[in-house]
Structure 1
Amino acid sequence: MARLFSEVNKGRVRMRHKRRKSSPFPFNNAGGRFSVSFAVWISVFLVLFIYFISQITEKTDGKLIRVHPNHLSVTYELEDIEEEPNFRLPPPHKRNPRAVKRRGSKKKPPAYSEFLDESSELHSVLFPDRRLAVGPNAGNDSSSTGYFYPGHVWLDTDGNPIQAHGGGILFDDRRKTYYWYGENKDGTTYHTQPKGTARVDIIGVSCYSSKNLWSWKYEGIVLRGEQQNVTHDLYKTNVLERPKVIYNSKTNQYVMWMHIDDGNYTKASVGVAVSKSPTGPFTYLYSMRPHGSDSRDMTLFEDDDGRAYLMYSARDNVDFHIGPLTEDYLGLTGVMKKILVRQHREAPAVFKHGGTYYMITSGCSGWAPNRAMAHAAPSIMGPWENVGNPCVGGNRVLRLTTFFSQSTFVLPLPGLPGSFIFMADRWNPSNLRDSRYVWLPLKVGSLADEPMDYSFGFPLWSRVSIFWHKRWRLPEGWKNVN
């Protein structure tokens, strides 16, 4: 009997062995399932572990902790976390209970909208006195030379406040010079209607030149507003915003695109101008509604292959549209793609790093600041995914208001891969000529800290970080760093 049981057991073993050997899918058995599941969970754990240690962790007390990846040593100073005490915001205005019952409740404005009121204490903090101005002729001691002070009055080489709002920077490789173009708002602020948006008559587009990005020479108004012809797009009571200039090497022309509108913001078009020189004068050509759609905040982006693209908020800022320019940069091809659909974004600033395209946008809240959002895409035409709020440091209020500013341009720094300058405007709607500039270091690196739109929650893109500093400067030899 024992011998019989022994033979039977040997047969069972042989049968099990044959079944395992004959199966084309060895993981279909219980042991294989366990092995594959275990490997999957180990992989997930490793991804999450790398993800979490690379994050910025926001504590309940508002403090931030950042684990730095291995960056170039010259950029460490730019990535340091600089904290600010939380602002003591005034309480929201209380409404009379009878008025609420009679007219209905209204959505309370955010407390930080108080900065729009010139009489508020917060306003004076965000718009420092002219005596604290910076620039080559600001009269400060030599220890301030070369330092950026976000929100301070910034003077040109003639000692006048720089007027280049909503603009962008062109680096002219032939002249080895940076040119900064923007809206000149050195006029009287007024309202066309009691509750209408603040306005300044069109003066034109200013141009400044620099070799070091800190000392700027005024080159004049390179595209002037029209004072007499009321039918002209640039007539003084119309709107000219967010001018951007790129150079076309095939035609040897500098091409400017801008947002063109009427006083009621119903024209919603783009305008085009050209010049043979970066310092103008630019000749205005025409305006149009791109791809047959309304267009408001816009920007240009020139890729490494020489192709250029127009990106603009459309459908009353509900979506973004993007499309390539013609070879001469003076028109649009018939190709257009809708991106950031139903996300209600504006103020685009596009840049590229490591073959990936990035963009910073703001929400739509008029002159009031709001939370920035970074986006990433494998192709300039999309799909674009959200990668979170890029603002780092300061305090919670600063991070939720893009440091009380709105994006306008992102400038790559030569010699420092992954390092950029984030350019933004701190608008002063009660006196638009006194709007300030917020320039801060921007870095691409480590993993993004918010779920993606299409990647099942796994971070596929690098994080975009804009670091808050009250005072900062570019590292020594930033042009020649390898």
Structure 2
Amino acid sequence: MGEFIPGGVWLDTNGKRIQAHGGSVICLKHVYYWYGENKEKTDGKNGIWHWGVRCYKSSDLYNWEDCGIIIPPDTENPESPLYPENCMDRPHIIYNQKRKKFICWLKIMEKDGSQSETILEADDILGPYQIIHTGLRPLGMSAGDFDLAVAEDGKAYYYFERVHSELICADLTEDYTNVTGYYSTHFPRLYPPFVREAPAHFMRNGKHYLITSGTTGYYPNPSEVAVADTWHGPYRELGLIHRQDESKTSFHSQISSVFKVEGKKDLYIACADRWLPEHMDRKYENYSRIFELLFSGRRDEISPDMMGEAVIENTAIADYVWLPIFFDGDRPYIKWMDTWSLDDFA
């Protein structure tokens, strides 16, 4: 018997910190694979943003074996999207049953401030992966945080933040390496921190759910949830998903993905990163106001007192907050639990 300790330091079976940030979990032949950004060298001072994509495997969801770096950094070419100093975020991998390929999408922050996608494919979840596209701007848009999902009929969908604007749901091509051109728009907002990002899609009882966060960088903010009857919506906003979260920070975390546990009737786990575990005293209202002033063209109203002490983003020590999703009818919610176990659920 094991237990989850949300926000606790999570070590792999070798006793090292798990490095799978902004990640997702996929289950293949009753084995879970958890992959994400490898931040082991990212101390906030040395300029290293990532050290590739690392993957772990587990049969019980508590104990994770390190499978190594499945998409290595490119340490030789500064122009490569995989160069360690380039901002690579939130890898997502889906399986194309028809082609027998694993398709990975990576979000890349370009030097001009726009955001694009790099697409890779492999015959095995653990690689090796081959780059198919770089600099892809889906639908001609600057594309931020995203999620990928595959329907039962094999059709795939791409949910992404059109940077500082709205959320997009786009159909993927049959090979999952591009978009078809058909898309829908959701949750339009004027500017951060109100724009929705970090979409996490899941389905339950025929309903489509999207959990999103506001746009405040590594600073956590209140997450919202919406529901729809189809992939493209329309999505009906249900409000905040974290109950009794007085800090307004989604329990000091940001959700990256949601997955259903095999063998459990109704257990969905929201996987989140606690990016700044050493700065949980920061108040949401303060930095939310900073983002609002910054992006609404009122930079001169930001005072030194509002900025406070600079935060060094040492994401190598970021922790994880995994919590179960509960439901009031069709409305999902997340409550804080110091510890919890799969045995708590039928």
Bin the TM-score by the shorter chain: 0.7 to 0.9
Give the equivalent residue in structure 2 for 1:210: 58
Q: Do the aligned partners of residues 221 and 151 (structure 1) sit closer, same or farther apart at CA in structure 2, a change above 3 Å counting? A: same
Secondary structure, aligned partner of 1:297 = strand
- Given that 1:167 and 1:180 are in contact with CA atoms closer than 8 Å, whether structure 2 keeps it comes out as yes
What displacement does 1:294 show?
A: 0.4
Give the equivalent residue in structure 2 for 1:396: 246
Give the equivalent residue in structure 2 for 1:245: 93
Q: Do the aligned partners of residues 379 and 256 (structure 1) sit closer, same or farther apart at CA in structure 2, a change above 3 Å counting? A: same
State yes or no: 1:224 paired with 2:72.
yes
What displacement does 1:415 show?
A: 3.7
Give the equivalent residue in structure 1 for 2:130: 283
Q: Which amino acid aligns with 2:232?
A: M
State yes or no: 1:421 paired with 2:272.
no
Q: Which amino acid aligns with 1:232?
A: S
What displacement does 1:391 show?
A: 1.1
- Given that 1:422 and 1:442 are in contact with CA atoms closer than 8 Å, whether structure 2 keeps it comes out as yes
Q: Deviations over 1:353-411 (max 9, x none)?
A: 11110011111111111111011111111111210111124x522xx210000010111
What displacement does 1:236 show?
A: 2.0
What displacement does 1:227 show?
A: 0.8
Q: Deviations over 1:246-267 (max 9, x none)?
A: 11111111111120123x4624
Q: Deviations over 1:266-319 (max 9, x none)?
A: 2400111111111112122222000100011111111222211111101x3220
**CA–CA distance in 2 between the matches of 1:265 and 1:190?**
21
Q: Which amino acid aligns with 1:165?
A: H
The one of 14, 29, 32 aligned to 1:178:
32
Q: Which amino acid aligns with 1:339?
A: H
**CA–CA distance in 1 between the matches of 2:77 and 2:48?**
18
State yes or no: 1:442 paired with 2:325.
yes
Counting aligned pairs with the same residue, the percent is: 35
Q: Deviations over 1:143-202 (max 9, x none)?
A: xx5111111110111111100000101111xx321111100001142369xxxxxx6333
Give the equivalent residue in structure 2 for 1:471: 339
Give the equivalent residue in structure 1 for 2:293: none
Q: Which amino acid aligns with 1:282?
A: Y
Give the alignment of 1:360-371 within 5 angstroms.
360-371=211-222
Give the equivalent residue in structure 2 for 1:346: 197
Q: Which amino acid aligns with 1:317?
A: H
Give the equivalent residue in structure 2 for 1:85: none
- Given that 2:44 and 2:315 are in contact with CA atoms closer than 8 Å, whether structure 1 keeps it comes out as no
What is the TM-score of this pair, normalised by structure 1?
Answer: 0.61
What displacement does 1:445 show?
A: 3.3
**CA–CA distance in 2 between the matches of 1:304 and 1:380?**
12
What displacement does 1:334 show?
A: 1.4
Q: Which amino acid aligns with 1:312?
A: F
The one of 152, 162, 165 aligned to 1:318:
165
Q: Which amino acid aligns with 2:268?
A: F
**CA–CA distance in 1 between the matches of 2:89 and 2:42?**
17
**CA–CA distance in 2 between the matches of 1:265 and 1:164?**
27
- Given that 1:268 and 1:294 are in contact with CA atoms closer than 8 Å, whether structure 2 keeps it comes out as yes
Give the equivalent residue in structure 2 for 1:296: 144
Give the equivalent residue in structure 2 for 1:358: 209
- Given that 2:55 and 2:67 are in contact with CA atoms closer than 8 Å, whether structure 1 keeps it comes out as yes
Secondary structure, aligned partner of 2:334 = strand
The one of 255, 259, 284 aligned to 1:407:
255
What displacement does 1:231 show?
A: 2.2
Q: Deviations over 1:63-86 (max 9, x none)?
A: xxxxxxxxxxxxxxxxxxxxxxxx
Secondary structure, aligned partner of 1:291 = helix
Q: Which amino acid aligns with 2:62?
A: W
Matched pairs, number: 306
What is the TM-score of this pair, normalised by structure 2?
Answer: 0.84
**CA–CA distance in 2 between the matches of 1:326 and 1:444?**
33
**CA–CA distance in 2 between the matches of 1:299 and 1:200?**
24
- Given that 1:200 and 1:432 are in contact with CA atoms closer than 8 Å, whether structure 2 keeps it comes out as no
Give the equivalent residue in structure 1 for 2:24: 168
Alpha-carbon RMSD across the aligned residues, in angstroms, is 1.7
**CA–CA distance in 1 between the matches of 2:42 and 2:173?**
38
What displacement does 1:214 show?
A: 1.0
Q: Do the aligned partners of residues 319 and 348 (structure 1) sit closer, same or farther apart at CA in structure 2, a change above 3 Å counting? A: same
Comparing 415-424 with 208-217, greater Cα deviation is found at 415-424
Secondary structure, aligned partner of 1:242 = strand
Give the equivalent residue in structure 2 for 1:189: 43
Give the equivalent residue in structure 1 for 2:286: none
State yes or no: 1:383 paired with 2:234.
yes
Give the equivalent residue in structure 1 for 2:9: 153
Q: Point out where structure 1 has 5 or more consecutive residues left out of the alignment.
A: 1-144, 193-198, 447-461
The one of 26, 42, 48 aligned to 1:200:
48
Q: Point out where structure 2 has 5 or more consecutive residues left out of the alignment.
A: 277-311
**CA–CA distance in 1 between the matches of 2:106 and 2:16?**
25
Larger Rg: 1
**CA–CA distance in 2 between the matches of 1:430 and 1:289?**
27
Moved over 3 A (4+): 415-418
What displacement does 1:330 show?
A: 1.5
What displacement does 1:351 show?
A: 0.1
- Given that 2:138 and 2:178 are in contact with CA atoms closer than 8 Å, whether structure 1 keeps it comes out as no
Give the equivalent residue in structure 1 for 2:116: 269
